[in-house]
Structure 1
Amino acid sequence: MVDEQVAAPARSRGATDIALIAGFAALIAACALMPAIHVGAGIVPITLQTFGVLLAGAVLGARRGFLAVLLYLAVGLAGLPVFSGGAAGPAVFAGPTAGYLIGFPFGAWLCGLIVERLPRHKAAGSVPLVFAAGFVASAVFIHLFGIVGLMLRVPTSFSAAFRIDWVFWPGDLIKIAVMALVATAVHRAFPDLLPQRRRARA
Structure 2
Amino acid sequence: MTTRDLVLTALFTAIVIVLGLIPPVTLAFIPVPITAQSMGVMLAGCIIGAKRGALSYALLVVLVAMGLPVLAGGNGGLHVLMGVTGGYIFGWIIGAFVTGFLAERLVRNGQSTPMQMAGFFAASVIGGIGVVYACGMPWVSMVTGTPFDKVLIGSLAFLPGDLIKAAIATLAARAVMVGYPLLPKRA
**Which residue, out of 14, 17, 34, partners 2:5?**
17
Specify whether residues 72 and 124 from structure 1 end up closer, same or farther in structure 2 by C-alpha distance, changes over 3 A only: farther
| Residue 196 of structure 1, CA deviation | 6.5
Hey, what's the Cα distance between the residues in 1 that align with 2:73 and 2:129? Answer: 24
2:42 is the counterpart of 1:54: yes
Q: Secondary structure at the match of 1:79?
A: coil
- 1:30-45 matches, within 5 Å, as 30-45=18-33
Equivalences for residues 1-202 of structure 1 within 5 A: 14-117=2-105, 118-122=107-111, 126-195=116-185
> How far has the Cα of 1:42 moved from its partner?
4.6
Q: Percent identity?
A: 33
Name the TM-score, length of structure 2 as normaliser. Answer: 0.91
TM-score relative to the length of structure 1: 0.85
Question: Distance in 1 between the 2:54 and 2:11 partners?
Answer: 13
Whether the aligned pair in 1 keeps the contact of 2:20 and 2:35 (CA below 8 Å) is yes
- Look up the SS of the partner of 1:120 in the other structure: coil
Q: Is the 8 A contact 1:124 1:185 kept in 2?
A: no
Give the total of aligned pairs.
185
Return the letter of the residue paired with 1:169: L
Q: Which amino acid aligns with 1:173?
A: L
Which structure is higher in helix share?
A: 1
Counterpart of 1:176, as a letter, is A
| Structure 2: gaps spanning 5 or more residues | none
Partners in 1 of 2:40 and 2:5 — Cα distance? 17
Q: Is the 8 A contact 2:47 2:176 kept in 1?
A: yes
Shift of 1:40: 4.1
